[in-house]
Structure 1
Amino acid sequence: MDEKSRRLGSALQAAREGRRPRVRQPEVAEQMGVSRTTIQNIEAGKFTKVNQTVRDYAAFLGWPDGRAQQIFDGGAPPEAAPDAPAAGADDSLPLPPAVEYELRSGETLDTAVISLGPDEDDGHVIVVLQGRKGATPEEIARIAARYRKARRYLQGLAADTDEVAED
């Protein structure tokens, strides 16, 4: 453990603690699929290089690609509020960390906006179909087949909302 690791770990911890709503270590660990000890070790600076888990944690917190390495190499930690858009990304959306992490960690295969009613103010369901980065054509075909079934189900639920509202 050296000063660079401690510095980056502290910056990651500060970013996590500054999030609104606040995200606790166990929640981060669960959503990232790692142990709480892993998150504790990262925040304590108990690593020797910026590995994939550290990069994933930074992405989970909404940091742009390469930012963790920049801080590790001596760059200044982010000064903006954790929920503020990154520099040059003024059109960012305030997504929950878990959603942002999933969007960054996979490859978008398809999207859909399903209206919940005939009027614009009836609301929408937004679906983003994600697959593993570098998925094989067979894996993508399997995911697409499952999605077609789920999409028909979601569209059916949206069509049923008028009946539910009348009950």
Structure 2
Amino acid sequence: MQGSAGELADLLARTAMRDRAAFKLLYTRTSAKLFGVALRILKDRSEAEEALQEVYVKIWQRADRYQAGGFSPISWLVAIARNHALDVLRARKPVADDLDAALDLADAGPNPEQATVRSGERARIEACLDQLDTDRADAVRGAYLDGYSYEELASRHSVPLNTMRTWLRRSLLKLRECLSA
């Protein structure tokens, strides 16, 4: 559950003063979003979980660098997560050149049946998103697939923050109805 910008700025200021309770609350309020950002970039759950731990170590160490009035607190936190995930991505070792060794490895991907089911689910979700107004569908994709904050989406669509929250809440309800039908 993401907190308000004022609350997050306060938590960052208290974290800069080494307030562990504030840091814990900051983690509770923002970890789901930052995990989503890392997962979207790294495409590997365990790697994203590890990256998230390292992101929060950086936040603990650098909370004093956040300047209220600059970026929104969530944008600052997302930037740290995104940059760290990109660093992890760049540091990955290149694929081994020994193709003979690769032939003995089992395919970790989904089997054909699982791939077909996932493809069907993806198609159903896309069909349900297509039933939403274009701007609402774009907002849902931005928030839940691309990791944009509500503030960023409200600015992007030139609507008040509470309007964006309402759009997303109502759109998710419509998606749930559509998918359960």
- Identify whether the pair has TM-score above 0.5, normalized to the shorter chain: no
| TM class, shorter-length | under 0.3
Where is the helix percentage greater, Structure 1 or Structure 2?
A: 2
Where is the strand percentage greater, Structure 1 or Structure 2?
A: 1
- The TM-score, its normalising length taken from structure 2, stands at 0.25
- The TM-score, its normalising length taken from structure 1, stands at 0.26
